[in-house]
Amino acid sequence: MASIAEQRRRVRDLIATLEPELQAAFVSSVDDIRNNIVLAELILALEAGNVEQALEVLHISRASFGQLADVFALAFNQGGRLQTEFLPRLTQPNGLRAVVQWDVRNLRAEAVLAELSSSLITQVTEETIKAARVAITEGYAAGQGPSQIALSLAGRINRASNRREGGLVGMSAPQAEAATNMRERLLSGDPAEMRKVLDMKLRDKRFDASIRKAIDAEKPLSQADADKMVARYADKAIRMRGEMIARTETGNAVMAARHAAVWQAIEARGATELDVKRRWRAVGDDKTRHTHRGMNRQTVIGMSQAFVSPSGARLMYPLDRSLGAPASEVVACRCDEDIIFDFTRGLK
């Protein structure tokens, strides 16, 4: 059986391997949404001032993120397989060896995967629709016409790839608001406002010289230049959103599957969950949350007892949200969990 240190390394390696796949699945899903937009239909809805119809025309649905759900399921399956490799030699009450093979179709595992996957896809879908609504309403407020709002949402077609680029669809709501503010600042002609764009981390720095030139001249950027700058910001923002989703949800899938695999081992042996203890492991570097640093080596008995953060949040494992832990305790967490079978209770 692999040592605890080796287990931690292999879990980290698995998550690191799968994170880019989850990010790519999100970005690909967004690309598909944008490329399926019929611009004429979107413009008609916007001309009528019908925000709900415009959102419907975007066709942002749970089905749109099927690729994301597929990779999440892959991470869950591989996490369960890996944890099964970590199991010690187990015996049944009759003395025969208990053989545990990971079964992703096990009722408990299937229910956990369905709940987590559904929650992820619902959250991503709702946030994407919310962001599109923000982009539309802010576009109206800024005096943009229906065609301009439609192009801002969908992006423009790259003639080389025949795919849309630079659309705001796919952003989070705060990102969509930031993109709208960026456009307004670039078109304002106000040096103080334009200078704020130079502080935006996700801007394309290749445009900085043009922005500084406009600042010195105290003149606004042209509409075409502003559109290009916002489009490049949009592409970076969507990739960043995908990265953050991947950094959170890949680990969530793997950690949840590890628990499901341990439950299968417990059931195969005819044992109880008290045969297991779990220990929180914080990374401990300067990026570690202070609450998680305080939880380092916190130990709980069984599979049903939660870890408790100094903030009061309760988590079944790092990245768990099932008990209501807020985003501040979960997003991009890098902590791990040692799952240890207690041989003093008779496991062999």
pLDDT tens digit sequence for 95-136: 777 788 999 999 999 999 999 999 999 999 999 999 999 999
For 140-190, give the secondary structure using H, E and C: HHCCCCHHHHHHHHHCEEECCCCEEECCCCCCCHHHHHHHHHHHHHHHHCC
Residues 163 and 287 in one domain: no
Cα gap 182→284, rounded to integer Å: 37
Task: Answer with the one of 218, 245, 271 that is the final residue of a domain.
Answer: 271
pLDDT score at 347: 40
pLDDT attached to residue 348 = 43
pLDDT of residue 345: 53
At residue 88, the pLDDT reads: 83
Domain match, 237 and 333 both: no
Assess whether 64 and 129 both reside in one domain. Answer: yes
Is 195 a member of any domain? no
Number of domains the chain contains: 2
Please enumerate in sequence order all residues whose Cβ is within 8 A of that of 214, keeping only pairs 6 or more positions apart, or say none: 186, 189, 194, 220, 221
Please tell me whether residues 159 and 261 are part of one structural domain.
Answer: yes
Q: Please, which contacts does 139-145 make with residues 24 or more away whose CB atoms are closer than 8 Å?
A: 139/180, 140/49, 142/180, 142/183, 142/184
Residue 45 lies in a domain: yes
215 lies in some domain: no
Domain that holds residue 304: 273-348
Q: Are residues 253 and 334 in the same domain?
A: no
Same domain as 161, residue 88 = yes
Check the CA dihedral 118-122-123-124 and report its sign: positive
147 with 130, same domain? yes
Measured CA to CA, the distance from residue 29 to residue 69 in angstroms comes to 10
Residue that is written with structure tokens 């690729």 in the block: 67
For the chain, what's the residue count? 348
Residue that terminates a domain, selected from 271, 294, 320? 271
Is 33 in the same domain as 131?
yes
Please give the Cα distance from 76 to 117 (Å, whole number). Answer: 10
User: 282 with 149, same domain?
Assistant: no
Closest CA to 249 of 33, 80, 74: 74
Which residues in the chain come in under a pLDDT of 50?
343-344, 346-348
For strands 336-341 and 314-315, give the pairing: unpaired
What is the 3 state secondary structure string of 184-246?
Answer: HHHHHCCHHHHHHHCCCCCCCHHHHHHHHHHHHHCCCCCHHHHHHHHHHHHHHHHHHHHHHHH
Q: Is residue 89 part of a domain?
A: yes
Q: Which of 271, 302, 333 is the last residue of a domain?
A: 271
With beta carbons less than 8 A apart as the criterion, state whether 319 and 333 touch. yes
Structure tokens at 243: 């990265």
Q: Is 11 helix (H, G, I), strand (E, B) or coil?
A: helix
What dihedral do alpha carbons 10, 12, 14, 19 form, nearest 10°? -170
Number of helices (H) and strands (E), helices first, in the chain?
11, 9
- Give yes or no: residues 334 and 241 share one domain: no
CB-facing half-sphere around the CA of 149: CA atoms within 13 A = 29
Asked whether residue 137 falls in the same domain as residue 38, the answer is yes
Q: Is residue 277 assigned to a domain?
A: yes
Q: Are 18 and 71 in contact (CB under 8 A)?
A: yes
Do 297 and 160 share a structural domain?
no
Asked whether residue 203 is assigned to any structural domain, the reply reads no
Return the H-helix or E-strand segment holding 337. strand 336-341
- The sign of the torsion formed by the CA atoms of 321, 336, 117, 166 equals positive
Residue 291 within a domain = yes
Is 335 part of a structural domain of the chain? yes
